[in-house]
Amino acid sequence: MQRRRLLQTLSRTQCPLRQPRQPQALELPTAAAPIQRLTIARFSSRNDGNSSNPQMAFPCLDKVENRTREIQSRRSNQGPEPSYTTGAHENFNATTPLLLDYGGVLREFTVAYETWGKLNDTKSNAILLHTGLSASSHAHSTPANPRPGWWEKFIGPGLPLDTDKFFVICTNVLGGCYGSTGPSSIDPANGERYATRFPILTINDMVRAQFHLLDNLGIEKLYASVGSSMGGMQSLAVGVIFPDRVQKIVSISGCARSHPYSIAMRHTQRQVLMADSNWNRGFYYDSVPPHLGMKLAREIATVTYRSGPEWEQRFGRQRADPSKPPALCPDFLIETYLDHAGEKFCLEYDPNSLLYVSKAMDLFDLGRENQEHINLLRISNAPKLENVTGETSTEPACSLTLPACPYEEQPSSLEENDLRQAEAQEDLLAGRRGPPRDLVEGLRNIWHPTLVMGVTSDILFPSWQQREVADALRAAGNQRVEYREFGEDVSLFGHDTFLLDLKHIGGGVREFLAEE
Amino acid sequence: MQRRRLLQTLSRTQCPLRQPRQPQALELPTAAAPIQRLTIARFSSRNDGNSSNPQMAFPCLDKVENRTREIQSRRSNQGPEPSYTTGAHENFNATTPLLLDYGGVLREFTVAYETWGKLNDTKSNAILLHTGLSASSHAHSTPANPRPGWWEKFIGPGLPLDTDKFFVICTNVLGGCYGSTGPSSIDPANGERYATRFPILTINDMVRAQFHLLDNLGIEKLYASVGSSMGGMQSLAVGVIFPDRVQKIVSISGCARSHPYSIAMRHTQRQVLMADSNWNRGFYYDSVPPHLGMKLAREIATVTYRSGPEWEQRFGRQRADPSKPPALCPDFLIETYLDHAGEKFCLEYDPNSLLYVSKAMDLFDLGRENQEHINLLRISNAPKLENVTGETSTEPACSLTLPACPYEEQPSSLEENDLRQAEAQEDLLAGRRGPPRDLVEGLRNIWHPTLVMGVTSDILFPSWQQREVADALRAAGNQRVEYREFGEDVSLFGHDTFLLDLKHIGGGVREFLAEE
């Protein structure tokens, strides 16, 4: 029933904004801006008159090639593309340098932000809302930017983030591209875009930048730190780094450290993006951006945002056009869904920001050992802050040398195999006995009332990670931890549940914030 | 403990076979074979003396560029690369044409195969073993090819496929590249490689080709059809298409129809591969193959072959070299594992075969409706078999036209959202009441003793799919269905369990085949 409705919608809709774009071959470049060489050569059709079967068509590749030509043509006529933006916002420009966890230095930096509600006289009602990977500060519409925000239904009078009571602040993260300093920003040292000369940054670096903004706003202590997904990481990081500057913590579909499966999924996205020759090792700001790599990366990401059971219900095995023969380009409805998700995103977000922010998520680890390691690094790098206007350090760049021998699975004998499985099983059972000691130690600073929420159908931040956070907090002695997990009977929307489920996610937030 | 051992192994091993390859820039091409233009331009390092932070290095991209140059250089010196092969095997050359499900025609075709054990006098002890997507017929070592096969430990005297009792046959699937006819084969109509003029094929087409081989071997009825993963699909297809020619059926980590999540994962792999400009819409046989696209596709596939909990144990958050700063190239151990899986595979399998065989998996659906649809197609296309030496049909190629409007998620009101979730929940619960009617009807031919096995930690072919097969068979009246599911206490190896777990997977097969 639902699927049929969907198909009817598909064929009915005229989608005036998304007509397939035509190549503008007839628009000649001006002399000042010569057309660059296309990265994907136009394929000339073959004479297949004498083959057993006809040659396939590849409309999905035509589309990508057309977009490249269109961007080229636009650049020739109108100059470089505008910067990435989601609309009007406030800027906090810090002129003091910022030392990053891994030794990078930003001589100055900007944090883009938006606010809703009113800061009270005691400045005690502020809530800092953290975003997911690619979101902007535009969590809710504002007079200056009436477009709906990414948490539009969760913020407002009487809503989970109640603007009658709270002053809600949302920032674009450091490293992002929607107003805050990131790889697409100009390096004051040389007047050029940072590109991949932007330093590696961490979730904690993003949080430190946010607290410079809070200082500027005169907010000594937050009423709450709230975030989902990557924002859920930041929310916990606030409690660890600035325990005295926050009262309550909410972490939704986040984690206290990234696990290998989510690192793997982000790895594939980064590698696919970096494989686009238009990426050009990060230096694409003067030419065609790697829109194909971005499209493919977003398609992979989209697979991790929802759940198999939801797609089973929504798309099943419906093909986009069952009257046509199967194709290697998008064919099943699920494929056109992914394709469209990629198309929609591929020019909306800065590719280098995707790489750096995604990497920051991989590096996130609130375990004690990592915290101590980073603290030592920060101490050893602190002198850099005193010499920020001098020459660039000549230390080697981030040039990890891979082991001479790549990882190779060892063929194991039957006995080894059995032993390995027995060990594995034991480890697993041991792991279930309690949260890792290193994490318990690492989270000791979080003594605050804390709400942790997870969704069973989430494959990117599986619910065991949220349980791990709650268990570790409790094991560290925090007696005010509230844990809520929403099963498949409540939501099949996987990781995206935090964007969609006002009733359960929103309800949980509202109740927790209202508690005395 | 285990991780530490792994790291020690990494640093100890000298891996003489896998030393990083050096570009052979000094070897000049012969006049007859000019060097082609590189698809990835060599990146010239920038002068970063005055930037705030140093430029990153990208050794992973250097490696890809070096491989391109190396292949170019080898081709110049030694001519085209040899065909894909895993070693010596038998060939069955059919000179009768084969009509494929979607209307393609192969005028003649080859099925590569290997056998173990001895066919008895009544020819009643044959087992047809089906492979996963990219495997060859080399399931076990042979005198002609002593290299261990992909199921080496499962085949032999006294082993699950007991060669004291059974005559085991394994084929390379139609569409593959290890000896059977596929896109890299020569089209007899024009003497050129098929490339993407190869017709769309299905799992059932592969099975039909296999039965031509059985005819040729004089085997009227199989003792059993056994397969895992894609082979599990084929195994069920045997029961549906040739119910009178098989006695027992074993389907391991397979399914009766592909579900949207696995279509999505294969979709991303295909799109990434097709995005490599070296793929050249399938016509790369005379130049550098799309090794980068293949590498990336394999990395994505590898994510789906194992499980998060296994990686959590094996890799955790270990970085390949913790003494180095973080990098955007592979950095965490899990990343070097994926990178290596891609490196190892990128020149081992024909990219076009990957596309066609992967697509065949997506199209697999043993539901009644699809079977009836294909049967009608086959009837309407049957006349093609009478005209195979004539002109190529002028009918349009596989040129699916996407809907004018791509799939767009509809912003739904709160009420709609609630309604949708309520409906979803109801559907889900309804689904749990029993297997889909269409599938029950579609599997009615399978009245044979059938063993269905699944692994709880499998994310690519989740165990609900195997339960669905068993339930559908039972609902269709089959009273000899055996269902085994291995939980996380037995295996964390996900989809790969069928390759590794001799005790449970092998044991299940052995016991089932021994039953009277």
Domains of chain A (ranges, CATH numbers): 90-258+438-514 (3.40.50.1820)
Q: Which of B516, B461, B43 is nearest to B227 (CA)?
A: B461
CA distance B92 to B87: 16
Buried b (16+ CB within 10 A) or exposed e, B207-241: bbbbbbbbeebebeebbbbbbbbbbbbbbbbbbbb
Per the CB < 8 Å rule, is B406 touching A18?
A: yes
- Tokens matching residue B303: 């994510």
The answer on pLDDT for A413 being more than 90 is no
pLDDT tier at A308 (50, 70, 90 boundaries)? confident
- Residue B484 has phi, psi (to 5 degrees) of -125, 130
Range A89-96 average pLDDT: 96
Residue B40: which pLDDT band, with cuts at 50, 70 and 90? very low
Overall residue count recorded for chain B in this entry: 516
A334 to B267: CB separation less than 8 angstroms, yes or no: yes
End-to-end CA distance of chain A: 46
CA separation for the pair A132, A171 (Å, rounded): 11
Please check whether residue A312 touches B, CB under 8 A: yes
Strands (E), A141-287: 155-156, 161-162, 167-171, 186-187, 192-193, 222-228, 246-252
- Mark yes or no for CB contact B327/A2 under 8 Å: no
Contacts of A80 (CB under 8 A, 6+ apart): A285, A286
Token reading at A362? 């991989």
User: Do A328 and B428 count as a contact with CB atoms less than 8 A apart?
Assistant: no
A503 close to B (CB below 8 A)? yes
B241 in A contact zone (CB under 8 Å): no
Handedness of CA B175, B181, B185, B186 (dihedral sign): negative
Nearest-CB residue to B303 (from A265, A328, A339): A265
Contact list in A for residue B150 (CB cut-off 8 A) is none
Interface of A with B in 368-397 (CB under 8 A): 388, 391-393, 395-397
- Residue A142 has a CB neighbour count (10 Å cut-off) of 18
Paired with B496 in beta bridges are none
CA distance B253 to A236: 39
Q: Among B42, B53, B340, pick the best mutation site for testing chain A contact (most A Cβ within 10 A).
A: B53
Is A373 considered catalytic here?
Answer: no
Residue A395 vs residues A290, B55, B322, B324: alpha-carbon distances, Å: 30, 11, 17, 12
What sign for the dihedral angle of Cα B161, B163, B169, B170?
Answer: positive
* Burial environment of residue B49 by CB neighbours within 10 A (0 to 12, 13 to 18, 19 or more): exposed
pTM of the model: 0.86
pLDDT by residue (tens digit) across B252-283?
999 999 999 999 999 999 999 999 999 999 99
Reduce the DSSP state of residue B111 to 3 states and report it: strand
Interchain contact, B399 vs A59, CB within 8 Å: yes
Residue of A nearest to B5 (CA): A410
- Collapse the DSSP code of A220 into the 3-class scheme (helix H, G, I; strand E, B; otherwise coil) and give the result: coil
Per-residue model confidence as pLDDT tens digits over A362-401: 999 999 999 999 999 999 999 998 876 654 444 444 444 4
Average pLDDT over residues A250-257: 97
| Residue B6: both structure tokens together | 């792994």
pLDDT at B298 over 60: yes
What local confidence, expressed as pLDDT, does residue B6 receive? 38
Interface of A with B in 88-107 (CB under 8 A): 102-107
Nearest by CB to A492, which of B397, B424, B489? B424
SS3 assignment for A183-212: CCCEECCCCEECHHHCCCCCHHHHHHHHHH
Tell me if B397 and A313 make a contact (CB, 8 A cut-off): no
Active-site position among A76, A134, A184, A229: A229
Q: Which of B224, B211, B206 is nearest to B126 (CA)?
A: B224
Helix ranges, B242-350 (H): 260-275, 291-305, 308-314, 333-345
B363 in contact with A, Cβ within 8 Å: yes
A226: which strand partners? A129, A250
Neighbours of B515 (CB within 10 A): 10
Give the SS3 label for residue B28.
coil
pLDDT of the residue at A78? 82
| H or E segment and range at residue B112 | strand B109-116
The region, left, alpha or beta by phi > 0 then psi within -120 to 50, assigned to residue A206 is alpha
Question: For residue A140, what are the contacts with CB-CB under 8 A and spacing of at least 6?
Answer: A114, A116, A148, A149, A151, A152, A155, A156, A168, A170
Give CA separation, A186 vs A113, A182, A191, A193, in Å. 19, 9, 6, 4
Question: Distance (Å, rounded) from C-alpha A443 to C-alpha A224?
Answer: 17
Q: B145-150: which pairs have CB atoms within 8 A and are 24 or more residues apart? A: B145/B86, B145/B87, B145/B88, B145/B89, B145/B114, B147/B86, B147/B87, B148/A411, B150/B499
| Rounded distance between C-alpha atoms, residue B491 and residue B475, angstroms | 29
Give Rg (Cα) of chain A.
Answer: 25
Choose, from B89, B130, B140, B495, the residue flagged as catalytic. B495
CA distance A250 to chain B (A): 23
Res B410 pLDDT > 80:
no
Identify the band that residue A75 occupies on the pLDDT scale cut at 50, 70 and 90: confident
| Cβ–Cβ under 8 Å, residues A110 and A181 | yes
- CA–CA dist B207, B405 (Å, integer): 37
3-state SS, residue B462:
coil
Whether the predicted pLDDT of B308 surpasses 90? no
- Complex confidence, ipTM: 0.85
Structural tokens at position A44: 């000339």
- Please count the residue pairs, one from chain A and one from chain B, whose beta carbons lie less than 8 angstroms apart: 434
SS3 A490: coil
Give helix A260-275 / helix A291-305 axis angle, nearest 10°. Answer: 160
Q: What is the mean pLDDT of chain B?
A: 86
Q: What angle do CA B447, B453, B459 make, to 5 degrees?
A: 130
Judged by CB atoms closer than 8 Å, whether chains meet at B196 and A303 is answered as no
pLDDT computed for residue A79 by the predictor: 77
List CB contacts (< 8 A) between B276 and chain A. 275
Tokens describing residue A270: 């980064």
- Residues of B with Cβ-Cβ distance to A326 under 8 angstroms: 102, 200, 359, 363, 398, 400
Average pLDDT over residues A68-78: 89
Distance between CA atoms of residues A314 and A316, nearest Å: 6
Task: Report in angstroms the alpha-carbon separations of B384 from B190, B200, B389.
Answer: 18, 15, 10
The contacts of residue A176 (CB under 8 Å, 6+ apart) are A112, A134, A136, A182, A350, A353, A357
- In this prediction, residues A435-461 reach a mean pLDDT of 95
Type of residue at B192: E
Q: Which of B101, B276, B350, B458 is catalytic?
A: B458
Query: Residues A247-283, buried b or exposed e (16+ Cβ, 10 A)?
Result: ebbbbbbbbbbbbbbbbbbbbbbbbbbbbbbbbbbbb
**Does residue A110 or residue A429 have the better pLDDT?**
A110
Tens digit of each residue's pLDDT (9 = 90 or more) over A107-126: 999 999 999 999 999 999 99
Tokens found for residue B325: 């700063």
Query: B53–A198: do the CB atoms touch at under 8 Å?
Result: yes
Could you tell me which residues come within 8 angstroms of residue A383 by beta carbon, excluding any fewer than 6 positions away? Answer: none
With beta carbons under 8 A apart, name residues in chain B contacting A500.
417
Q: What percent of chain B has pLDDT over 70?
A: 81
Mean pLDDT lowest among A194-208, B63-77, B202-216? B63-77
Q: At what angle do helices A291-305 and B260-275 cross, to 10 degrees?
A: 170
Contact (CB<8Å) A200/B326? yes
When scoring B261, B288, B366 by the number of chain A Cβ atoms within 10 A, the one with the most, hence best to mutate, is B261
Q: Give the 3-state secondary structure of residue B132.
A: coil
The residue of chain A nearest to residue B338, with distances taken between CA atoms, is A264
- Measure CA A64 to chain center: 24
Query: Could you tell me if B233 and B434 are in contact, meaning their C-beta atoms sit under 8 angstroms apart?
Result: no
Residues with Cβ within 8 Å of residue B10, at least 6 apart in sequence: A403, A405, A407, B320
Chain A CA closest to residue B405: A15
CA distance A412 to chain B (A): 9
- Which B positions 313-332 lie with beta carbon below 8 A of chain A? 313, 315-317, 320-321, 324-332
Nearest to A406 among B270, B336, B391 (CB): B336
Which positions 114-173 of A are in contact with B (Cβ < 8 Å)? 153
Give yes or no for residue B24 having a pLDDT over 80.
Answer: no
Catalytic residue at B458?
Answer: yes
As a whole number, mean pLDDT of residues A293-300 equals 97
Answer yes or no: A164 catalytic: no
- Res. B476: pLDDT tops 80: yes
Contacts of A355 in chain B (CB under 8 A): 328
pLDDT tier at A48 (50, 70, 90 boundaries)? Answer: low
Burial of residue B199 (number of CB atoms within 10 Å: 0-12, 13-18, 19+): buried
Whose CA is closest to B316, among A355, A472, A431, A441?
A: A431
Question: If 0-12 CB within 10 Å is exposed, 13-18 middle and 19+ buried, where does residue B30 land?
Answer: exposed
Rounded mean pLDDT of chain A? 86
Contacts with B149 (C-beta within 8 Å, 6 or more apart), sequence order: B138, B139, B140, B141, B155
Q: Beta B155-156 vs B105-106: how paired, if at all?
A: unpaired
Distance from CA of A222 to the nearest CA of B (A): 30
d(CA A235, CA A58): 45
Nearest to B406 among A192, A321, A340 (CB): A340
